[in-house]
Amino acid sequence: MRRHTFVFTLVSLFVLSTLAACGGGSPSEPVFKVTFVSPSSATTNEAATFHSVSVRLEGPDGEALQAPVDFMVTSSDVSAVAGVDYTAVSYPVSFSFGASDESIRTFGVPILSDGSIEGPETFDLTISNVTGGQLGERVTHRVTITDDDEARVGFQVTASSAPDEGVGLFPVVVSLSTTAGTTLLADTSVDVIRTGGTATAGSDFNFTPTTVTFPAGSGNGASMSVDVEIIDDADAESDETVILELTNVVGPAPLNTKTTHTLTITDDELGLRFDGEAAFNDVDGSGTLSSGDTVVVPLTSTPVVNDPSPSGIDLFVAGDTFGSGATLSAGPGTNDLTITLGTGATLVARGDYAGTSVTPGSPSGLDFSSTLPADAIEATDGQDAGPSGARDLTAGFTDSGQSIGVADCRAVALGDMDGDGDIDAVFANFGTPDRMWLNDGTGVLTNSAQALGTSASRGVALGDVDGDGDLDMVVANFGEPNTVWRNNGTGTLTDSGQALGTAASNGVALSDVDIDGDLDLVFANEGQPNTIWINDGNGVFADSGQMLGNADSTCVAVIDRDFDGDDDLVFGNNVASSRLWVNDGSGTFSDSGQALPTGTQAIALGDLDRDGDVDIVLGRNGTNSVLINSGTGSFTAIGQTIGSALTLGVAVADTDGDGDLDILTADSGGANSVWRNDGAASFTDSSIALGSLDSSGIAVADMDADGDPDLVVSNLSGGNRVYLSSLTGVWGTATLVDTVMPFSAGAALRGALADVNEDGSLDVFVAVDNGPDNLFVNDGAGVFTDAMLGLTSTFSIGLNMADMNRDGHIDAVVGNFFQPNRVWLGDGNGAFASTAQESSPQPFASATTSAVDVADVNGDGYLDIAFGNFVGVNEIWINDGSAIFTKLPAAPVAGSPTDLEFGDFNRDGTQDLAIARDGASVVWFNNGAGVFSDSGQALGAQSTRDLESADLDRDGDLDLVEVTATGTQIWRNDGSGIFTAFGATLGTNFQNNVSIGDFDADGDLDLAISNDGAPASVWLNDGSATFSNSGLALGPSATEYRVYFGDVDGDGDLDLVSVGNGTDSLVFENL
């Protein structure tokens, strides 16, 4: 350090303060002493201009100086250096005549700020050369100069990670922090040692304790590093840590708070891990877990199986097992592991393992065991398999093994072409004839041998265009006229001879755009405007003259985007923005102005977020898009990218049985994929890879009649494929549990479940015998609150919920005994208002109505009403679209009706009517204009309480369930509307009603029946309309209550609601 010499000349004493005492003298000379007030002091910092020090006069009490006392105060260096850290002083100091005991003299020493970090430094002040007095007790005072140029040493950060084991030497930084502009005056050193961590020295790392030294002159931000040698051990293990600590500082800079550093060594040999959900494959198509079925697990890399025993894979639900004799093998995909099930396997492929539920029958979860023996299952590079966290087991798809056709296929459509009750397939081929393949009922397709045209087809759609009750075929051709092929009802197609346009069409959709009761055609064209062709009702089409856009459209889909009861259109465009066109109700369209994403090759529609409206999925080139409907027809992209391939086909279906719609893609240049929905329109890749061909289209239907959604994929080469779902039979066991949550409903005679307030959950509307009708609002978890509506109706017996005025909200149609019937219009928020019907020229008259149902009986697109009147004649009221009704002059006759059920029983495309009554039930056929004729059938002879329709035997037509005083009878439809009693009656009680739904999620429809004076029962369908009692006895033993299936808690399965007298109204949750 360079020393500077300063000369200080004291001209006059710099006295900061003087304290004196006055008093009388004494005849003798007293003895006075001078002393420092304190032995030491310290400066606040180096910035202090002067540091004050005081000297005190000590003498006899009350005495005063008779003469001055003079002395010198002189400074001397200890560790501080005069001229650098302070200014040297040599002060003459005096207590003057008259000063008394305890008088004080205070003086200042100049302090210098040197900009160096040196720590605390000291110098001494000494009293000497006293005249007129003596030296006191403290003749020396030590001053400490506090260094305000602070410095600290510590780790730069407290934690770091080596990205992999191959980095070699990994630096850990020790840094110096100082006051800005200052430097160390002397060296500072600190030791770095290892004090802990999970890594093992010598095998995971090497580290030698090190002393780090910051030399004098180092300033803020100076850093030194120590190296930890990371050893690449080639073992698959979890991440490990090394903990370093700073200790033993020597020098002016002490430690800061960052004295410990944790280094994480990231294991780059992750080993073999699960890489997605496991998929169950029903190899034998039995619909149950069987020996030989498989579970395919996607892994992070290619597996080598050295031990075929599945004991190294954990199952986390009690009772789950892969079965006796189960084995492991690599494949079928490069990174797949297959578990082939043995005898007695028990699994639930429900896909929502919670990680905490281990109750038998809960959804299965699985993972590699943490105790898996070394080398039992390993990657090709020798890395061992290991756990990564429990994964779901879901239902996968099994390739049926069929290669259908060899042509360049561009599209596929599915439907029952030959009227035998199963789903057939039609393929649109490019440059070769289109083909129809007929299903044998098990999903095996056979070429019908019909060569359907020779055009360059790119799109195909099926529908009954000529109104004869079977599916016809419409083909979109590229560069040639589009064609219409008529079906004779048995699957033989004949060219209608119509040549529709000359555009380069890529896609076609069928819709009754003008709401006249027949299907019109919409073509998506490339390089030319899209066109609409209007049906005359007989399958003969005329160009509407409309030209919708002028983009390169690839596809078209039909959507009622705004709940106004007519069909709007979505066109997918390749280069330009895809567009939404809005129907005015007469078949005239206008561009909505919404610019949807470009690059669209395919469109699928469905309620993806379960809010009651229709959302859009766009299959695009590289980034598929999901567009969510606001409820008013405005669409917003969710921002999630679904896939990265060129998607030419897209579909939606509930592939895992959880109650929401998943996304399936047909991709060109890669495997087709399945994306699982979480119920809120957030999607996860299932890791299921279907095929490796260039796919062009995908369609969903139950091809093998087992009740789950199968897939048919069209390919550009290599033949088309059928993939059969494995969902049926392994989704889990349904159990109803009383939630102990009754909701009061007065003396309710009817109930209906609907999302009245549009919050995504099912509410309960009740028609009450002795009080106002009311609504009970669901909180989404199956807990109901009385909405206190108090809708003024009395003795309400009939009830139906539907959108009667086409505003997108659920309305209530109530049939009253002794009072006029009512239509209550919902506002979408849970409130209702009466229609203007009461003040119309033809109000609902006072009647004795005992039954209500709604349907479009005249084909105008609006829901009409049928009232069954217990006394008097039945009535049919025609809707004008705004919920103003006009009564038809004639209606089906049946005395004392107890229930009404609309349905297309003879499959002619119109709504027929079945009437339950106090006696045999009857069926009336509709001619399409609302004119009914008696079919001549008398179904049973008992007093019928309820009548419902559904396809119970899965043959494609509507069967009837008749609830009577002596049990429930199934009536099977032959397809033409002629019914035959099938099987024994279900139960022997006097019964009230039946609700139909897939209670056990096995793909067929089950029954819940309310028994008069006894608990309700649930009857399970075997798929052929043969039912067995589940053994469940639910609810009250009341004489008047009804039950309804519905998912009231939003978990994807069917719960049961009982509506009756007060506390007889209960909720049963399906577990």
Residues 166-197: tens digit of each pLDDT: 788 999 999 999 888 788 888 999 999 999 99
Burial of 681 (0-12, 13-18, 19+ CB in 10 A): buried
pLDDT reported for residue 649: 96
pLDDT reported for residue 10: 34
Half-sphere exposure of 773 (CA within 13 A, CB side): 31
Q: Do domains 17-145 and 151-265 have the same CATH topology?
A: yes
Domain ranges of the chain: 17-145, 151-265, 274-395
pLDDT tops 90 at residue 1056: no
Q: What are phi and psi of 945, to 5 degrees?
A: -100, -30
- More confident site: 359 or 467: 467
Write down the architecture of domain 17-145 according to CATH: Sandwich (2.60)
pLDDT tops 80 at residue 239: no
CB 436 within 8 A of CB 413: no
pLDDT reported for residue 736: 62
pLDDT tops 60 at residue 484: yes
User: What are 568-611's pLDDT values in tens digits?
Assistant: 999 999 999 999 999 998 999 999 999 999 999 999 999 999 88
Q: How confident is the model at residue 241 (pLDDT cuts 50, 70, 90)?
A: very high
pLDDT tops 50 at residue 16: no
User: What are 716-729's pLDDT values in tens digits?
Assistant: 999 999 999 988 76
What stretches of 355-411 show up as alpha helix (H) in DSSP? none
Nearest one of 805, 813, 802, 810 to 828, comparing CA atoms: 810
Identity of the highest mean pLDDT range in 149-158, 366-375, 456-465, 956-965: 456-465
pLDDT reported for residue 461: 98
Write down the architecture of domain 274-395 according to CATH: Sandwich (2.60)
User: What are 105-150's pLDDT values in tens digits?
Assistant: 998 999 887 777 777 889 999 999 999 999 999 999 999 988 777 7
- List all residues 6 or more positions away from 407 whose beta carbon is below 8 Å from its beta carbon: 427, 429, 430, 431, 432, 435
User: What are 962-1013's pLDDT values in tens digits?
Assistant: 998 889 999 999 999 999 999 889 987 788 889 999 887 777 899 999 887 7
pLDDT reported for residue 293: 92
pLDDT reported for residue 26: 42
pLDDT reported for residue 846: 65
SS3 of residue 915 by DSSP:
strand
pLDDT reported for residue 4: 38
pLDDT reported for residue 13: 34
pLDDT reported for residue 236: 60
User: What are 523-551's pLDDT values in tens digits?
Assistant: 999 989 999 999 999 999 999 999 999 87
* Per-chain mean pLDDT for the chain: 87
pLDDT reported for residue 787: 86
User: What are 551-561's pLDDT values in tens digits?
Assistant: 799 999 999 98
Q: What are phi and psi of 838, to 5 degrees?
A: -65, -30
Half-sphere exposure of 662 (CA within 13 A, CB side): 25
Angle at 203 between CA 197 and CA 207, to 5 degrees: 60
Task: Give the Cβ contact number of residue 536 at 10 Å.
Answer: 12
Task: Give the Cβ contact number of residue 106 at 10 Å.
Answer: 16
Question: How far apart (Å, rounded) are the C-alpha atoms in residues 453 and 211?
Answer: 88
User: What are 410-468's pLDDT values in tens digits?
Assistant: 999 999 999 998 999 999 999 899 999 999 999 999 999 999 987 799 999 999 999 99
pLDDT reported for residue 36: 95
The residue-averaged pLDDT of 243-259 equals 91
CATH of 151-265, one of 3.10.450.50, 1.10.10.10, 3.40.710.10, 2.60.40.2030: 2.60.40.2030
The residue-averaged pLDDT of 625-641 equals 91
CA dist list (Å): 377 to 174, 277, 688, 1060:
43, 19, 22, 59
CB 338 within 8 A of CB 330: yes
Residue with tokens 């007065």: 746
**210, containing H or E segment:** strand 210-214
Q: What are phi and psi of 165, to 5 degrees?
A: -80, -5
pLDDT tops 70 at residue 60: yes
The residue-averaged pLDDT of 395-404 equals 91
Residue with tokens 């995504």: 760
Question: How far apart (Å, rounded) are the C-alpha atoms in residues 205 and 265?
Answer: 9
pLDDT reported for residue 1004: 84
pLDDT over 90 for what percent of the chain? 53
pLDDT tops 50 at residue 5: no
Identity of the highest mean pLDDT range in 328-337, 386-395, 864-873, 886-895: 328-337
Question: How far apart (Å, rounded) are the C-alpha atoms in residues 253 and 129?
Answer: 41
pLDDT reported for residue 55: 96
β-bridge mates for residue 219, sequence order = 183
Question: How far apart (Å, rounded) are the C-alpha atoms in residues 485 and 87?
Answer: 112
CB 593 within 8 A of CB 610: no
1055-1059/1066-1070 β-pairing: antiparallel
Q: Per residue, what are the HEC states of 290-320? A: CCCCEEEEEECCCEEECCCCHHHEEECCCCC
Question: In the chain, how long is the greatest CA-to-CA distance?
Answer: 153
CA dist list (Å): 219 to 147, 185, 451, 857:
15, 10, 88, 91
pLDDT over 70 for what percent of the chain? 92
Identity of the highest mean pLDDT range in 255-269, 654-668, 899-913: 899-913
pLDDT reported for residue 791: 79
pLDDT reported for residue 738: 61
pLDDT tops 60 at residue 714: yes
pLDDT tops 70 at residue 942: yes
Return the minimum-mean-pLDDT range out of 281-295, 495-509, 1040-1054.
Answer: 1040-1054
pLDDT tops 60 at residue 311: yes
pLDDT reported for residue 22: 35
Q: Concatenated DSSP letters for 61-85?
A: TT-B-SS-EEEEEEEEESSS-BTTT
The residue-averaged pLDDT of 1016-1031 equals 87
